[in-house]
Amino acid sequence: MGLFTTDKDFFGLDIGNSAVRLVQLKKGGSRPSLVAYGKANIPVGIAQSDSKIDLQNLAQIIKELTIKTRVSTKNVVVALPGSAVFTAVVKLPYMTQSELAKAIQYQAEQNIPLKLKDVKIDWQVIKQDPATKEMAVMIIAAPSGKVERMLTIMDFAGLEVESLETSPIAMARSLISATDPLVMILDIGATSTEMAIVENGVISHTRSLPAAGQAFTRAISQNLGLDPEQADQFKMRFGLSQDKLEGQVYKTIKPILNNIVDEIERSIAFYAEQFGGNVSKIVLSGGSARLPEMISYLKSELKIEVQLGNPWAFVSYPANFTEQLQSNSFDFGVAVGLAMRDN
C-alpha cells in the first residue's frame, strides 16, 4: 500500500507466522544486486499476538536480524499478509484521477465489509478495456488496527516505515516475469495459504485461506497420536508419498490440501468468468511447498503446470551464493518482492 513513499535506501521485511525474513537490494544496472538477506525463526504464537510483550519480543528478533545481516539502512518496506486485508475488484468507466478517488470511496463502502473509518484504503487500476472504455480497479482495505500494530512493531524495532504493502503484491513482483501471460501464485506458509492471479505481471484476484503447514502438522499429530515435533518430522519425511508408512501421512494431509485445491479451482473459474482467460500455470512458494510430492500432487489434481517460484531469478548475486540462495528460494518470495519495489 502506498501510504507514504520517499526516495531512500530501504530493505524488505516479511513477518510470517513461523519466521521473519529480510532482503536488501541495490538498484541500478540491468537487475538489482543483493546487499543483505537473512531469516530468523519466531516462537509459535508471537506473530499474531497483540500483547505488548510479544510485540516487543518480535521487534527484538527483527532488530537482531538487521544487525546480524548488516543491512545498511533503517528504512523498511514491510508487508501485511493477504489474510489481514480485504480486496475487491470493481469495474468502472474511464474517469479522471480525482473522479476515481471519489468513486473508490463509494465502491469501498459497497464492497468492503468494514466501516470506512476503521480501514486504510488504497487502490490500483489493474486493467483497461479501450473497447468498452471500462477499467478494473483493485481496492485494498487494511484494518487500521492491523496497520497500527505493524507500525508499533517497527517503532519498537527502531525502524522507519518507508511503505506498507500486501504480501501477494510483493510476490507478484519477485516470482512472475512480465511475459508470463496468466498465472497463479500459490504461497503455502505456516498458518495461511495465499493465492493471487497475475496477468502480465499485474495482480488481480487474491484469496487467502486459513489452512497451511501448521494444520498439516496438527492433523498428523492427532490422527497418528504423535507429539507436534514428531508430527512435523513425519510431515517433512513422508509428505504425500502414498507408499510410505502405508500412506497414513498422505491420507491425513489430503483432505486439508483438497480444500486448498477446491479453492484454487474456484478462483481460476471465477477469474475466467469475470475477466476471461485461463490460468496456464501455478507458481509455488512458501515453506509448505517443500512437502514431499507436493508438486506432482497439485499437477495431477489440477491438471495444470506447477513450478517452484524462484525469487532470486531477477536479482544479481555472487556465483558462490547460488547454492544457499536456491536452497531457500521458497522462503524469500515476499521479502525479495518488497525489496524490489520502485520507491
Note the residues at the interface with ligand ATP (CB under 6 A): 16-19, 81, 189-192, 212-214, 232, 235-236, 286-288, 290-291, 331
Toward ligand ATP, which CB reaches closer, 127 or 146?
A: 146
Nearer to ligand ATP, 41 or 316 (CB): 41
Candidate segments 8-16, 233-241, 246-254, 324-332, binder of Mg ion by CB under 5 A: 8-16
C-alpha of 25 from chain center: 19
End-to-end Cα separation, the chain, in angstroms: 12
Minimum gap (Å) between residue 178 Cβ and ligand ATP = 25
CA angle 296, 299, 304 (to 5 degrees): 155
Largest CA distance in the chain: 63
The answer to whether 333 contacts Mg ion (rule: CB under 5 A) is no
- φ, ψ for residue 129, nearest 5 deg: -120, 100
> For residue 276, what is its C-alpha cell?
476471461
Query: Which of 16, 213, 239, 311 contacts Mg ion by CB under 5 A?
Result: 16
Closest CA to 297 of 243, 250, 343, 332: 250
Work out how close the CB of 298 gets to Mg ion at its nearest, in angstroms, rounded to a whole number. 18
Residue located via cell numbers 489481514: 84
Query: Minimal distance in Å, beta carbon 294 to ligand ATP?
Result: 8
Cβ at position 203, least distance to Mg ion in Å: 16
- CB of 65 closer than 8 Å to CB of 22: yes
Which region, judged by CB under 5 A, interacts with Mg ion, from 42-50, 84-92, 182-190, 225-233?
182-190
- Residue 18 binding: pick among Mg ion, ligand ATP, none (C-beta 5-8 Å cut-off by kind): ligand ATP
Residue 192's binding partner among ligand ATP, Mg ion, none (Cβ under 5 to 8 angstroms by kind) is ligand ATP
The single residue listed with the C-alpha cell 473508490 is 104
Between 49 and 230, whose beta carbon lies closer to Mg ion? Answer: 49
User: Whole-angstrom Cα distance, residue 283 to residue 305?
Assistant: 9
From residue 132, alpha-carbon distances to 28, 95, 105, 166, 275 in Å are 39, 13, 23, 30, 13
Site residue total, Mg ion (CB under 5 A):
2
- Cβ proximity to Mg ion: between 12 and 189 the closer is 189
Residue 114 DSSP symbol: S
The interface region with Mg ion, picked from 59-67, 121-129, 184-192, 267-275 by CB under 5 A, is 184-192
Q: Helix H segments across the chain?
A: 52-69, 97-111, 144-156, 167-175, 213-224, 228-238, 248-275, 294-302, 322-327, 333-339
Label the pairing between strands 119-129 and 134-143: antiparallel
Task: Give the three-state DSSP class for 280.
Answer: coil
CB of 182 to Mg ion, least distance (A): 23
- For residue 244, the minimal CB distance to Mg ion (Å) is 27
Closest to ligand ATP by CB, 16 vs 309, is 16
Pick 32 or 168: Cβ nearer Mg ion: 168
Of 168 and 189, which has the nearer Cβ to ligand ATP? 189
Out of 189, 213, 333, 337, name the contact with Mg ion by CB under 5 A.
Answer: 189
Instruction: List Cβ neighbours of 326 (8 Å cut-off, separation of 6 or more).
Output: 310, 312
Q: Name the residue nearer to ligand ATP (CB basis): 320 or 327.
A: 327
CB of 44 to ligand ATP, least distance (A): 10
- Residues of this chain that bind Mg ion (CB under 5 A): 16, 189
